[in-house]
Structure 1
């Protein structure tokens, strides 16, 4: 599989996975782009010990986690009131944005698992990516979905 084919096949999935981490369109695009730069550079070293998608999602996850670590070291500034999300507008876009916000508030491992689950990645592959058993992945997915459902109900969605 050449790089162009990999890019076309995985761009949307990598972007959505990044959105699950940062919940910001431009930042997610930057992280996805950074991921593909790493994939392009490391492609000759890919040994095929796992599926190419698993390898790419691991790179994506590591890229996002490094960015989050950098941001934790920098002070955060509050958005001006006119730029905050208007919650009175109940649209599909707002639901999706709220979902990404809820996901970004989860523990690191839970964010990875649910983001991969939302990408329809096989639970066996998720287990390999995060380094836990397949049974543990199933339990975590169930619990994460319960948490997210509760947050949606609490916020009137």
Structure 2
């Protein structure tokens, strides 16, 4: 049991920063909800770790759990339709600051206008996950992911540049 806990702790430490960032991206920056979702992800990892089949890397498996957990939350709460939550989050941040920070906020606002699938793809891409792994996590072919990433990036660039959220 002690060895299992130690192994889980290593997995947790290695993957938590990415999991929390992905969760934050899905919930429009709501830090508390992102932490709750990340906790739920790691509870699932703990419960299912013994049944992990090593068909992919453990990180890919955890990303899949993260994406599924976040999508389930969005469906339950219809969080993605709540534009007021995004506006409230944006308004609480100080308006003054470096333009790079404003562009980053704008980019995340634009990301939140994407479909659930596209949002998942681009959040994993932003995490630096190789496109082949994203294809495994999302369940698409590598070629489909390459095309989607390209289209999503073009769409986000236009959105950020044109203030068109």
Q: Same fold (TM over 0.5)?
A: yes
Question: How far apart are residue 155 of structure 1 and its match?
Answer: 2.2
Q: Distance in 2 between matches of 1:132 and 1:140?
A: 10
Q: Distance in 2 between matches of 1:125 and 1:114?
A: 13
Counterpart in 2 of 1:107? 115
1:82-121 equivalence runs, <5 A: 84-85=91-92, 88-91=95-98, 92-121=100-129
Counterpart in 2 of 1:34? 40
Counterpart in 2 of 1:126? 134
Instruction: Tell whether 2:26 aligns with 1:18.
Output: no
1:138-153 equivalence runs, <5 A: 138-153=146-161
In structure 2, the CA distance between the partners of 1:28 and 1:98, relative to structure 1 (3 Å rule), is farther
Question: How far apart are residue 148 of structure 1 and its match?
Answer: 0.9
Confirm or deny: 8 A CA contact 1:87 1:94 kept in the other structure. no
The answer for unaligned runs of 5 or more in structure 2 is: 1-5
Residues paired across the two proteins, number: 155
Q: Distance in 2 between matches of 1:22 and 1:77?
A: 11
Instruction: Tell whether 2:64 aligns with 1:50.
Output: no
Q: For residues 74-122 of structure 1, what are the alpha-carbon distances to aligned partners after superposition, in whole Å with 9 as ceiling and x for unaligned?
A: x959469798245742434443333222212211111111011011111
Of 145-154 and 93-102, deviating more is 93-102
Q: Which has the higher helix share?
A: 2
Q: Distance in 1 between matches of 2:66 and 2:88?
A: 32
Q: Distance in 2 between matches of 1:82 and 1:36?
A: 26
